[in-house]
Amino acid sequence: MIIWSLTLFILTIDAYIEIFTGKNILGYGELYGKRIVSFFKDEPIVGGYINSFYLIIVGYLFSLSHKFSSNYKYHILVVSVFFLSAILLTGERSNTIKAIFGFLVFYFINNHFQIKQKLISILLIIILFISLINTSDFIKLRYNGQFLKLMIGEFRSKIDETYYTENYKAKNLPVVKLIYVDIYTSGFSVFKSHPFFGVGNKNYRLVACAKIKNPKYTCNTHPHQTYFEFLAEHGFIGTIILLFILFNLVFGKLAIILQSKNYIQVGSFIFLLSSFLPFLPSGAFFADYNLTIFWLNLSLMYAVNKKTNIFLKS
């Protein structure tokens, strides 16, 4: 846990360096413009990576709280905001939502803080985040110019041209179309064409990008949403089987997790929970990178508690 903590702190500091200077300490950061890549060089996934492990690290810090004074919990809260702010400033909207959701759930069930302390902390963090969003034209574009339009229902429209011209074109900021609804529609269309067993694991790209294809299909490697990916590639029957197995593994020990107050375990559980939030864009569930992070969190969730570790149970 010490090695993981140091690794995540170094990565996050490097992300901040790139956020404020345009390049990380190795000189990466130009390929995706203002998107943050840090040590990942050519992939803007650092926000998702931090989100995958920051609650585990925060939980580990809480496991050491008995060694320090009562004010130690506020230091941990600051560390949490340190990670959370970095995720927000990467501009990765889906991972930011998941990270904020995870943060709220983690501190809601945390018994180190009183209700009043939790409410005040959340209010201060909301104010901080609003301030952070307004510090950068790029971040405002990502969260205000694009995300809020999606939330209010302009699903199939691109960024308003007048608004873009007046506020972003002069500053060389990109126009990004809101394409997720088209991709989701494509995934659901593939499912309707193969409703029972789907097109097969990781075969969505073969069907959606075929030379002769359904006009409702959008060529992409995957539907960019876990449930649509399951439905398109495994059909209704396969999706039910997959979700039954995964939900049983993730939620089967929920009572023990909540009672034990093992915050490393809680951190892992909350990340897994956020992985199944509906409608939010996601990477391909069965891609090596995403699946590795998922199983690491699941394995750690079981391993760190004697009541759930199958090798320590009597």
Domain locations in the chain? 2-121+254-303, 136-177, 180-239
Determine the pLDDT at residue 155: 42
Which tokens sit at 179?
Answer: 């394409």
| Contact present, 40 and 46 (Cβ < 8 Å) | yes
Q: What is the pLDDT of residues 11-66, one digit of tens each?
A: 999 999 999 898 999 999 876 667 899 999 888 999 999 999 999 999 999 999 88
pLDDT classification of 180: cutoffs 50, 70, 90: confident
Q: What is the pLDDT of residues 147-176, one digit of tens each?
A: 555 544 444 444 454 444 555 455 554 444
Q: What is the pTM of this model?
A: 0.86
**Between 133 and 189, the higher pLDDT residue:** 189
Determine the pLDDT at residue 313: 65
Task: State the Cα–Cα distance between residues 229 and 151, nearest whole angstrom.
Answer: 22
- Sort residue 97 into left (φ over 0), alpha (ψ -120 to 50) or beta: alpha
